């Protein structure tokens, strides 16, 4: 793909690929291996065309110009992979409903607060699943100080997540009793979350590899299927920062192919293949 130019396709050289790789690493901590040039080309070439450029070089010059910040954000959005689903890795939600939320409910009813973080929330299926689990195990949660912080670097998916609106065929993984309790029809073949569950999630744009504004601690953090795009040093640094944001005894859920290599240094104990508990 590199060094070629198809009819009406923007020119893409080896130098352009290396430049996109550097931008992805510096701006988002996303590491594209040398083998991913076709993927990078297909994701970025659309932005190149849509912004009226005929070469990657001219496009990247404009992105890195002093007034290129807005397009830099579009470029980062184009480079992210946003695949997700409701109740993905179901065992995490069973653990959440059986272990985390009952303990949180007891603390919250005694005047405390309950916080859970979906740290790479994509189009929202993960934080909305967390909210459904909270409402199932703690039905009056929305009238207490309970929140699900839902963040992602991609502002477009965060905006979509915040609507709580999904095509019906994308809601198949939601158990029928939860779907009928928490979702309502919103036009032909479309459902949306409705009622008090909508008070739980708070959606924000946040780069996991930048500074975080949150001051409080979390009872559980979902950081799943995102560090696979980071290099090892970035991954282990992030695990350490996430462990620091967990309350003593709090839980970190990771993706099925992810591991915390430095768990002992992070004060984390692995209690299941993809579930870690912070030391008391």
Of residues 189, 227, 233, 190, the one with CA closest to residue 208: 227
By C-beta, is 37 or 225 nearer to ligand SAM?
A: 225
Q: Is 217 left (phi over 0), alpha (psi -120 to 50) or beta?
A: beta
Q: Which of 47, 152, 235, 277 is catalytic?
A: 152
Dist. CA 148–CA 156, nearest whole Å: 19
88 appears as a binding residue in the annotation? yes
Query: Active site includes 43?
Result: yes
CB of 120 to ligand SAM, least distance (A): 3
CB 250 within 8 A of CB 280: no
208 appears as a binding residue in the annotation: yes
Residue 210 or 271: which CB sits closer to ligand SAM?
210
The contact set with ligand SAM (CB under 6 A) reads 28-30, 80-84, 88, 120, 122, 126, 152-154, 157, 207-209, 224-226, 229, 255
Is 8 assigned to a binding site?
no
* Residue closest to 178 by CA, chosen among 267, 93, 58, 268: 93
Catalytic residue among 16, 21, 43, 277: 43
> Which lies closer to ligand SAM via its Cβ, residue 122 or residue 136?
122
Q: Is 231 a catalytic residue?
A: no
Instruction: Give the torsion sign (CA, 108, 109, 110, 111).
Output: positive
User: What are 58's two structure tokens?
Assistant: 């001219």
258 is in an annotated binding site: no
Cβ–Cβ < 8 Å for 254, 278: no
Question: Annotated binding site for S-adenosyl-L-methionine: which residue ranges?
Answer: 82, 84, 88, 126, 152, 207-208, 224-225
Please identify every residue annotated as catalytic.
43, 152
């Amino acid at each position: 793909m590199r060094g070629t130019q198809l009819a009406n396709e923007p020119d893409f050289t080896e130098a352009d690929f290396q430049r996109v790789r550097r931008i992805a690493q510096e701006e988002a901590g996303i590491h594209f291996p040398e083998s991913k040039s076709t993927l990078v080309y297909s994701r970025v070439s659309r932005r190149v065309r849509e912004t009226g450029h005929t070469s990657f070089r001219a496009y990247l010059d404009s992105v890195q110009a002093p007034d290129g910040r807005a397009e830099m954000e579009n470029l980062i959005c184009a480079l992210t992979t946003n695949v997700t689903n409701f109740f993905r890795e179901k065992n995490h939600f069973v653990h959440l409903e059986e272990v985390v939320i009952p303990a949180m409910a007891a603390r919250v009813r005694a005047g405390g607060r309950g916080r859970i973080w979906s740290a790479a929330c994509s189009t929202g299926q993960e934080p909305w699943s967390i909210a459904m689990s909270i409402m199932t195990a703690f039905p009056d949660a929305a009238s207490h100080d309970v929140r699900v912080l839902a963040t992602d670097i991609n502002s477009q998916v965060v905006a979509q997540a915040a609507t709580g609106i999904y095509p019906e065929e994308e809601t198949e993984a939601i158990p029928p009793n939860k779907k009928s309790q928490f979702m309502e029809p919103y036009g032909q073949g479309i459902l949306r979350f409705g009622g008090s569950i909508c008070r739980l999630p708070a959606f924000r744009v946040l780069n996991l590899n930048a500074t975080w504004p949150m001051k409080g601690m979390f009872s559980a953090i979902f950081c799943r299927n995102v560090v696979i795009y980071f290099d090892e040093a970035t991954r282990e640094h992030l695990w350490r920062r996430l462990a620091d944001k967990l309350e003593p005894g709090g839980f970190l859920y990771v993706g099925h192919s992810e591991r915390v290599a430095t768990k002992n240094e992070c004060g984390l104990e692995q209690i299941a293949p993809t579930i870690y508990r912070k030391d008391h």
